[in-house]
C-alpha cells in the first residue's frame, strides 16, 4: 500500500470498533462487534481496527474472532508502545488473512511532559523499540505519534524518520484533540512528505477528531496533500465529539470526483444499512440533519423545493438515496405471509443467522404479525437486532403490568426470569409507569442504576408501528446503552432497560 503503486486509491481504515466504541455508552458485546465487523467487510472498508486487545480478555477474544472470521479487510489491533500491549495485539490479530499492529505514543510536548512524564529522546527510543518489536510478528506495522497536530515539527520529523527506519509501514498523523483547521493540516501533511526521509516508501495516513467540527474537511485536505489512508468511523462516532465520518468522506470523494481524483473500495449501496446497524447496536442515534445518512438528508419540506424535486431531482439533490442503499424494496409481510417469505426476507437482510436463530426470529415475527397488520423489513431488522446476542441473558421479561392514569399513582409489577429459569418479582411506584417499572427492576437487582438518556422512535409508520426505545444507563463509573422494541412502548422501555442491565452484568462478570 504505497503512494507510488496506487496513487489514486484512498484506503479507508475504519475504527468504529475501537475509537468509535470509546463513545460514552457505546459498548458493544461480543456478538454485536462481530456483526459490525462483518458489515464493515460488506461495505468494503480496507482496514478494520477491531479493538484494543490488551484492554480486557473479552476484547482480545472479540478481536481474535473477527480476525479468524472476517475475510477481505486487513484486521488491526491497537497497542501502546509497550511489549505487553503489542503481545496482546498480535495474539488477537495473528489469525487474520492480513494482520496489522497499530502502535501509538504521545508526541506533543504537552503529552510527553504531563501525561507520559518522560524525556522526548527516551520516548523517541521507546517508539523505535516498539516498532522493532512489532515487526518481529508482522511486516504490517502502523505508527501513530499521538497529538501530532500539537507537536513540534522538528521532533515529528526526527521521530517519524526513526520509526520508518525501524520498520513502520504506515505512518498515521492523528489530530487527537480535533485542534487543526484544514489549510494548516494539509500544510502539515505536505511538510511531512517533504521533510521526512523514507515517507515516500510508506503509507501516509490521517486520523481526525471532530472537536471543532472539521474532521471530515481536515481529512479531505490531507488527501489533497498526499495522505492515502484515512481513519474514520461510521456515523462519525468516537471519543468526545467523534471522528471523521466514513460515509461523508467516501461520498464526498465520489460525488465531487471532479475535485478529488481518487477512488475508494466502498460498496456505496451498503452505507445506509451500515449506518443504521451501528446506530442501533451502539445506541448512538443519528442526528436528523446528519450529512449523508440523517433522516432529513433526503427530505424536502419547502414547497419550492418539493416542486423542483418533482420536476427534476437534480434541482435540490446531489446524492441519490438509492445510491447509498437508502430505499430498499419495501416488500411488506403480514400474518398470512408464509414461512418461506419471512425466511427469504431474513436472508436478504444479510445477517449471518444459523437455522436455530432463523427459527427464533420467525416465532417472534408470528407474534408481531398478530399485533401489527403490516410487517416491514425495518420491523424484521428490529427483531433481529433485539435477538442478535443469542447468548443467554441474566434476566428476561416474563410478565409486566403497569397502572397509570390522571387520577392514579403510577405503579408496576415486574416478573423476571433468571438464566436458571427461577422467577423474581417486584412491585414499585414511580413518577410514571416507566419510572415505576425501572424502580421495580432496580429493587430486584439491588443495583441503583441511573437513567441518563431515554429516546423513543417508531420503527416504521402507522399507529401500530413498533416502538423502539434506546436508553443510556449509568452504574458507578460506567455508562451503557440498551435497546428494545415492542408495539407496546412500556414493554419496549422495559426491554431496553433489561438489555442494558444484562450487558452491564456481563461486563462486570456477574454472568
Residues that bind ligand KIV (CB under 6 A): 19, 104, 144, 146, 174, 176, 207, 209
> 104 or 475: whose CB is closer to ligand KIV?
104
> Which of 19-27, 290-298, 365-373, 439-447 is the region at the interface with Zn ion (rule: CB under 5 A)?
19-27
Q: Which residues pair with 206 in a beta bridge?
A: 173, 230
CB of 404 to Zn ion, least distance (A): 45
Collect all residues with Cβ–Cβ distance below 8 Å to 302 and sequence separation of at least 6. none
From the list ligand KIV, Zn ion, none, pick the one residue 32 interacts with, judged by a Cβ distance below 5 to 8 Å according to partner type: none
Considering the complex, what minimum distance in angstroms separates the CB of residue 207 from ligand KIV?
5
Single out the residue of 14, 19, 32, 65 in contact with Zn ion (rule: CB under 5 A). 19
# of chain residues touching Zn ion (CB under 5 A): 1
Span of 16-24, 95-103, 291-299, 451-459 interacting with Zn ion by CB under 5 A: 16-24
User: How far is residue 295 CA from its own chain's centroid?
Assistant: 18
**Is residue 143 helix, strand or coil?**
strand
Relative to beta strand 74-80, strand 99-106 is parallel
Which of 246, 393, 282, 362 lies closest to 35 in space, CA to CA?
282
Residues β-bridged to residue 101: 77, 141
Compute the least distance from the CB of residue 469 to Zn ion, in Å: 30
Minimum Å gap between C-beta 115 and ligand KIV is 12
Q: Residue 235 or 485: which CB sits closer to ligand KIV?
A: 235
For residues 85 and 381, which CB has a smaller minimum distance to ligand KIV in the complex? Answer: 85
Within 431-450, the residues that bind Zn ion by CB under 5 A are: none
Q: Which residues lie across from 456 on neighbouring strands?
A: 469
Q: How far apart are CA 370 and CA 372, in angstroms?
A: 6
Binding partner of residue 104 among ligand KIV, Zn ion, none, CB cut-off 5 to 8 Å per kind: ligand KIV
Question: How long is the chain?
Answer: 511
- CB contact at 8 A, 101 and 140: yes
Shorter beta-carbon distance to ligand KIV: residue 123 or 397: 123
Picked from Zn ion, ligand KIV, none, the partner binding residue 144 (CB below 5 to 8 A depending on kind) is ligand KIV
Residue 337 contacts which entry, ligand KIV, Zn ion, none (Cβ below 5-8 A, type-dependent): none
CB of residue 175 to ligand KIV, shortest distance in Å? 7
Residue 11 binding: pick among Zn ion, ligand KIV, none (C-beta 5-8 Å cut-off by kind): none
Least Å from the CB of residue 88 to ligand KIV: 15
Q: Of the two residues 146 and 468, which places its CB atom closer to ligand KIV in the complex?
A: 146
Distances (CA, A) of 220 to 189, 236, 393, 438: 11, 15, 43, 46
What DSSP string describes 80-123?
A: ESSHHHHHHHHHHHTTSSSEEEEEEEE-SHHIIIIII-S-HHHH
280 contact choice in ligand KIV, Zn ion, none (CB below 5 to 8 Å, kind-dependent):
none
Q: Using CA atoms, how far apart are residues 417 and 422, in angstroms rounded to an integer? A: 6
Q: Tell the smallest beta-carbon distance from residue 16 to Zn ion (Å).
A: 12
Which positions from 73 to 92 touch Zn ion by CB under 5 A, shown as an x/- string?
A: --------------------
CB atoms within 10 A of CB 150: 16
> CA 57, CA 60: separation in Å to the nearest integer?
5
Contact set for Zn ion, span 123-162 (CB under 5 A) = none
How far is Cα 44 from Cα 263, in angstroms, rounded to an integer? 12
Nearer to ligand KIV, 26 or 297 (CB): 26
| 188 versus 353: smaller Cβ distance to ligand KIV | 188
Can you tell me the distance from the alpha carbon of 92 to that of 75, in angstroms, rounded to the nearest whole number?
A: 9
Question: How far is residue 141's CA from residue 130's CA, in Å, rounded to a whole number?
Answer: 10
**Residue showing cell 478494520:** 48
Binding positions for Zn ion, rule: CB under 5 A? 19
Amino acid at each position: 500500500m504505497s503512494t507510488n503503486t496506487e496513487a489514486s486509491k484512498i484506503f479507508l481504515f475504519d475504527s468504529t470498533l475501537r475509537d468509535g466504541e470509546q463513545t460514552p455508552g457505546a459498548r458493544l458485546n461480543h456478538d454485536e462487534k462481530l456483526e459490525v465487523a462483518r458489515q464493515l467487510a460488506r461495505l468494503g472498508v480496507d482496514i478494520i481496527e477491531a479493538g484494543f486487545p490488551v484492554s480486557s480478555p473479552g476484547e482480545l477474544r472479540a478481536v481474535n474472532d473477527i480476525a479468524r472470521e472476517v475475510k477481505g479487510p486487513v484486521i488491526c489491533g491497537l497497542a501502546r508502545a509497550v511489549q505487553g500491549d503489542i503481545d496482546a495485539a498480535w495474539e488477537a490479530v495473528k489469525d487474520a488473512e492480513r494482520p496489522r499492529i497499530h502502535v501509538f505514543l504521545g508526541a506533543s510536548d504537552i503529552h510527553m511532559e504531563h501525561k507520559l512524564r518522560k524525556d522526548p529522546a527516551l520516548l523517541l527510543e521507546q517508539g523505535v523499540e516498539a516498532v522493532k518489536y512489532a515487526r518481529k510478528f508482522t511486516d504490517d506495522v502502523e505508527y501513530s505519534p499521538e497529538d501530532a497536530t500539537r507537536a513540534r515539527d522538528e521532533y515529528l520529523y526526527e521521530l517519524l524518520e526513526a520509526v520508518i527506519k525501524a520498520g513502520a509501514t504506515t505512518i498515521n498523523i492523528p489530530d487527537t484533540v480535533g485542534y487543526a483547521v484544514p489549510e494548516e493540516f494539509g500544510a502539515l501533511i505536505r511538510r511531512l512528505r517533504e521533510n521526512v526521509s523514507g515517507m515516500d516508501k510508506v503509507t501516509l495516513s490521517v486520523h481526525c477528531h471532530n472537536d471543532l467540527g472539521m474532521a471530515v474537511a481536515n481529512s479531505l485536505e490531507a488527501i489533497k496533500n498526499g495522505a492515502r489512508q484515512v481513519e474514520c468511523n461510521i456515523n462519525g462516532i468516537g471519543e468526545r465529539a467523534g471522528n471523521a465520518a466514513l460515509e461523508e468522506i467516501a461520498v464526498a470523494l465520489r460525488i465531487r470526483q471532479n475535485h478529488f481524483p481518487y477512488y475508494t473500495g466502498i460498496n456505496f449501496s451498503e452505507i445506509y444499512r451500515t449506518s443504521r446497524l451501528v446506530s442501533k447496536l451502539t445506541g448512538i442515534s443519528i442526528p436528523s440533519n446528519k450529512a449523508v445518512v440523517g433522516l432529513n438528508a433526503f427530505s424536502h419540506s419547502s414547497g419550492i423545493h418539493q416542486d423542483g424535486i418533482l420536476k427534476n431531482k437534480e434541482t435540490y439533490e446531489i446524492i441519490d438515496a438509492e445510491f447509498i442503499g437508502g430505499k430498499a424494496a419495501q416488500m411488506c409481510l403480514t400474518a398470512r405471509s408464509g414461512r418461506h417469505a419471512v425466511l427469504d426476507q431474513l436472508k436478504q437482510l444479510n445477517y449471518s443467522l444459523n437455522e436455530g436463530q432463523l427459527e427464533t426470529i420467525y416465532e417472534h415475527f408470528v407474534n408481531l404479525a398478530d399485533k401489527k397488520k403490516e410487517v416491514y423489513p425495518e420491523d424484521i431488522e428490529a427483531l433481529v437486532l433485539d435477538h442478535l446476542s443469542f447468548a443467554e441473558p441474566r434476566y428476561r421479561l416474563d410478565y409486566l403490568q403497569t397502572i397509570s392514569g390522571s387520577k392514579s399513582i403510577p405503579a408496576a409489577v415486574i416478573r423476571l426470569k433468571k438464566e436458571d429459569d427461577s422467577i423474581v418479582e417486584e412491585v414499585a411506584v414511580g413518577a410514571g409507569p416507566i419510572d415505576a417499572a425501572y424502580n421495580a427492576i432496580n429493587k430486584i437487582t439491588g443495583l441503583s442504576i441511573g437513567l441518563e438518556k431515554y429516546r423513543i422512535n417508531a420503527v416504521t409508520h402507522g399507529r401500530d408501528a413498533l416502538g423502539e426505545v434506546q436508553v443510556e444507563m449509568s452504574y458507578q463509573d460506567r455508562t451503557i446503552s440498551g435497546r428494545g422494541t415492542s408495539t407496546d412502548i412500556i414493554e419496549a422501555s422495559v426491554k431496553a432497560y433489561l438489555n442494558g442491565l444484562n450487558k452491564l452484568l456481563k461486563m462486570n462478570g456477574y454472568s
